[in-house]
Amino acid sequence: MSTNIETIAVNRNDGTPATLGDYAGKVRLVVNVASKCGLTPQYEGLERLYEEKRAAGLEVLAFPANNFKGQEPGTDAEILDFCTTQYNVTFPLFAKLSALGDDRHPLYTALVEAQPEAIGEGPFRERLKGFGVERENPADVLWNFEKFLIGRNGQVVARFSPDVKADDPRLVAAIDAELAK
Q: How many whole angstroms separate alpha carbon 68 and alpha carbon 143?
A: 6
Active site includes 37? Answer: yes
Q: How far apart are CA 116 and CA 68, in angstroms?
A: 19
Q: How many CB atoms lie within 10 A of CB 134?
A: 10
The active-site residue out of 37, 80, 114, 177 is 37
Helix and strand numbers, DSSP H then E, in the chain: 5, 6
Q: How many other C-beta atoms can be found within 10 angstroms of the C-beta atom of residue 63?
A: 24
Q: How far apart are the first and last CA of the chain?
A: 25
Evaluate whether 9 touches 19 at the Cβ level (below 8 Å).
yes
- Asked if residues 105 and 97 have their Cβ atoms less than 8 Å apart, the reply is yes
User: Cα 128 to chain center, whole Å?
Assistant: 19
Q: Which residues are catalytic?
A: 37
